[in-house]
Amino acid sequence: MDKETIFAQSTVNDCRIITLVRNAHENGSLSVVENNSAIPFDIKRVYYLYDIPGDAERGGHAHIENQSLIIAVSGCFTVTLGDGKEQRSFQLNRPYNALYVPAGLWREINDFSSGSVCLVLTSEPYTEDDYVRDYSEFLKLTAPKR
Ligand code: TYD
């Protein structure tokens, strides 16, 4: 799909929480993310945010092709997603919940708790060309929905 089609069709209704398997034991828990039918894309990259000040605002962009899974592996934070028409917010605070974020959505991440770690698994390698960082450009691309 081309960029215009992706942004014209993206919807926050396609976001969802994927509950990961949780191996809970008295001496600690373990969850796994691997490429299987529970995950909507093949994982190509992993990065994580840490040392995040409580008043930080991360995100502030949309992706053209890249899809993500976002996991609060420690602590909690809020992810707000917009499709140019509607917004949805998710408070992530469980290491076994992964938020699926399709392409074409504006994302903001804030309200980080002290010591929180935000793990992101993605469908594409990193390239700055995949970003829309200008909100007015995002609004133009999503104009067909309004
Ligand atoms: P960015 O995606 O804007 O972070 P966030 O959405 O969490 O606010 O990336 C922050 C910086 O890190 C930016 O200069 C690009 C760089 N970066 C990489 O070099 N590789 C990566 O895989 C990612 C995600 C970012």
Q: What is the pLDDT of residues 51-109, one digit of tens each?
A: 999 999 999 999 999 999 999 999 999 999 999 999 999 999 999 999 999 999 999 99
Average pLDDT over residues 41-52: 98
Identify whether 61 is a catalytic site residue: yes
State if residue 59 touches ligand 1 by the CB under 6 angstroms criterion: yes
Residue 21, domain extent: 3-145
Q: Ligand 1, closest atom to CA 133?
A: 3
Q: Ligand 1, closest atom to CA 128?
A: 15
What whole-number distance in Å separates Cα of residue 115 and Cα of residue 52? 7
pLDDT at residue 143 above 90? yes
Only one residue has tokens 């707000």, namely: 80
State if residue 56 touches ligand 1 by the CB under 6 angstroms criterion: no
* Distance from the alpha carbon of residue 46 to the mean position of ligand 1, in angstroms: 11
What whole-number distance in Å separates Cα of residue 110 and Cα of residue 76? 9
CA atoms 18, 76, 70, 59: torsion sign: positive
Residue of minimum CA distance from atom 13 in ligand 1: 128
What is the chain's length?
146
What whole-number distance in Å separates Cα of residue 143 and Cα of residue 112? 31
Q: What is the mean pLDDT of the chain?
A: 97
Look at the chain and report how many structural domains it folds into: 1
Catalytic residue among 3, 16, 58, 61: 61
Residue 16: CATH number of its domain:
2.60.120.10
Q: Enter the DSSP assignment of 53.
A: -
**Residue 138 pLDDT grade (very low, low, confident, very high; cuts 50, 70, 90):** very high
pLDDT at residue 117 above 90? yes
Q: How far is CA 88 from CA 29, 43, 45, in A?
A: 29, 24, 25
pLDDT at residue 23 above 90? yes
pLDDT at site 1: 86
Residue of minimum CA distance from atom 20 in ligand 1: 126
Residue 58 CA, distance from chain mean position: 11
pLDDT at site 95: 98
What whole-number distance in Å separates Cα of residue 68 and Cα of residue 64? 12
Three-class DSSP category at 39 = coil
Q: What is the pTM of this model?
A: 0.97
Q: Enter the DSSP assignment of 104.
A: T
State if residue 47 touches ligand 1 by the CB under 6 angstroms criterion: yes
